[in-house]
Structure 1
Amino acid sequence: MVHPALDMYHYHVWANSVIMDRLLELPRDIYHKEIQSGFSSVAKVLSHIYQVDHTWFEIISGKTMKEAMEHSFQLGPEVEAKSLEEIKNRFVNLSDQWQELLASIEDIDQVLVVENPYAGRLETTVAETLLHVATHGAYHRGNIATMLRQMGHTSVMQDYGLYLYQK
């Protein structure tokens, strides 16, 4: 049986793909269109999800949180400027790297000590980190669904329950 945290990560990858596929069905201009919302464009939301996924990938790979954050957040403007097709490819490549990394970890319940430059020391596990990545992504995909409605478009179902039916 797959560890529940690994399954949640697989759900995250699936849901990212589902929302990006929906975005690819819509007029191209909505991806970078500026709107009044928590984020000013869908591109900014996807860039943020990507940056956080990248940050935690680097932390689990052995970088300090400070190093990982600095590197990942330097990517922000570059990632945000990409087309939707390019950002989807970036997500696919990053999830492939995640899969390779996770396959190399013998125990995802092993303790991971993270020194957050803003919040201090955190003792967590790789599994808990995967849950964080998945819930963070779900929260912000909800932002995208709301933004699409604001622009007169429907979103798409991306619930965990649907993932379970489709896997």
Structure 2
Amino acid sequence: MTALRNHLCTMARYHAWATRKLLDEHVAQLPEADYRRDCGLFFKSLHGTLNHLLVGDALLWFPRLAEGVSPKIKLDMEAEPDRPRLRQRLLDAVAVWEPFVAHLSGERLAGELHYTTTQGVPTSLPYAATLAHALNHGTHHRGQITAALTMMGHPSPEIDLVWMLQAERRQQEQQQA
């Protein structure tokens, strides 16, 4: 289980890194009109998509995985209308994953997650695979945001996992020098 836990910790670290990089280096510079513009995403705007990420991370998957509760929420709800507060809540939401994953037991990772879907259907899924989904969910929507930024003529974020791994390697090498 150590290899699986290490991999999931890497994915949690990546989730936080990519979210911070996207928000601070790209979304922060956007004019309000572009930020709120309906650009054809599933949740319409960048704001809507970021709200969905907050709902998924903080209000749905973390409570399911960490607390064993099944919140009754809508996936398209606007959890935070205020842009600066949404940014902070997103950063807070992604920051809890790595410490949480690092302390999961092998037994829990090998077990099942029992929860009720947002449609009210009781469900059981493999815990580790469902945790991987929760951590990877942001990748999908950050990709949508990246495409929307590019379509609007803004620079495309370089937020692939390998970029984080390379930055970490450089940092390790600098600390050893």
TM-score under structure 1 length normalisation: 0.81
How many residues align structurally? 160
For structure 2, which runs of at least 5 residues remain unmatched after alignment? 169-177
Contact kept? 1:6, 1:130, Cα under 8 Å: no
Identify the residue that residue 19 of structure 1 maps to in structure 2.
22
How far apart are the structure 1 equivalents of 2:166 and 2:37? Answer: 33
Contact 1:5 1:131 in 2 (8 A): yes
1:70-81 correspondence to structure 2 within 5 Å: 70-71=72-73, 73=74, 76-79=77-80, 81=81
Q: Relative to 1, partners in 2 of residues 1:90 and 1:75: Cα closer, same or farther, differing over 3 Å?
A: farther
Residue 122 of structure 1 corresponds to 124
Cα 1:39–1:75 change in 2 (3 A) is closer
What is the CA–CA distance in structure 2 between the aligned matches of 1:26 and 1:121, rounded to whole Å? 40
**Aligned residue type for 2:100:** L
The match for 1:56 is 61
Structure 1 contact 50–91 (Cα < 8 Å) conserved: yes
Contact (CA 8 Å) 1:31, 1:41: kept in 2 or not? yes
Where does the alignment leave 5 or more consecutive residues of structure 1 unmatched? none
**C-alpha distance in structure 2 between counterparts of 1:106 and 1:151, whole Å:** 45
Assess, with a 3 A threshold, how the Cα gap between structure 1 residues 5 and 97 changes in structure 2: closer, same or farther.
closer
SS in 1 for 2:96: helix
1:151 equivalent in structure 2: 152
1:78/1:115 Cα in 2 relative to 1: closer, same or farther (>3 Å)? closer
Corresponding residue for residue 93 of structure 2: 94
Between the aligned partners of 1:75 and 1:136, the Cα distance in structure 2 is 15
Contact 1:9 1:133 in 2 (8 A): no
Q: Deviation of residue 112 (structure 1)?
A: 3.0
CA shift in 2, pair 1:93/1:36, >3 Å: closer
CA drift at 1:129: 2.9
Q: Percent identity?
A: 22
CA distance in 2, matches of 1:13, 1:30: 24
Q: Secondary structure at the match of 2:143?
A: helix
Query: Is the 8 Å Cα contact of residues 35 and 41 (structure 1) preserved in structure 2?
Result: yes
Q: 1:14, CA displacement in angstroms?
A: 0.7
Give 4+ residue runs of structure 1 displaced > 6 Å after superposition: none
SS of the residue 1:114 aligns to: strand
Is 1:34 aligned with 2:21?
A: no
Q: Deviations over 1:82-138 (max 9, x none)?
A: 21x22221022223433453354333524133234456532312x323321232111
Q: 1:34 touches 1:41 (CA, 8 Å); kept in 2?
A: yes
Residue 174 of structure 2 corresponds to which residue in structure 1?
none
